[in-house]
Amino acid sequence: MFNQNDINLLIQIIPNGRQNAIIARVIAQRLGYPVGGNQVKTRKLIDFAIDNGNVILSSSGRIPKGYWISANRQETIDYIASLRNRASEITDRADNLRTGWNNINPNNQI
C-alpha cells in the first residue's frame, strides 16, 4: 500500500524533537489524506515508516501531543518501555475476558 516515496513525504512533514510534535490531523492534511475520524491512513503510514527503520514517537496524553522524530536515546528507551507495558496490559485484559467468559459459560468455552 505504501512505498519509500510515501515515507519520504512523511519524514519531511514530521518534525524533529518532542517540543515540535505534530498531530495526526495536520499530518493527514499535509499529505492530502482524509482527516475525518482518527486518520487511519495516516497512522498506517506512520506504522509502515516505523517498520522500515524510522524512529517516530508519539504522545497523546502530555503536551505537546502528536508525532515527532526522536534522536534522544533515553526518550526512545522510555517510549519502548511504555509500549511494552501497554501491550502487556492489553494481553492481560484479553486473558481476563477469556477467563470470565469460560467461568460464566462452562459448556461453551473459548
Q: Is the pLDDT of residue 104 over 80?
A: yes
**Percent of the chain whose pLDDT exceeds 70:** 100
Same domain, 51 and 84: no
Parent domain of 83? 72-110
Contact at 8 Å (CB) between 48 and 40?
A: no
Which helix H or strand E contains 85, and what residues bound it?
helix 73-104
Asked whether residue 76 carries a pLDDT value surpassing 90, the answer given is yes
Q: Look up the CATH number of the domain holding residue 42.
A: 1.10.10.10
Same domain flag for 6 and 44: yes
| pTM attached to this predicted model | 0.85
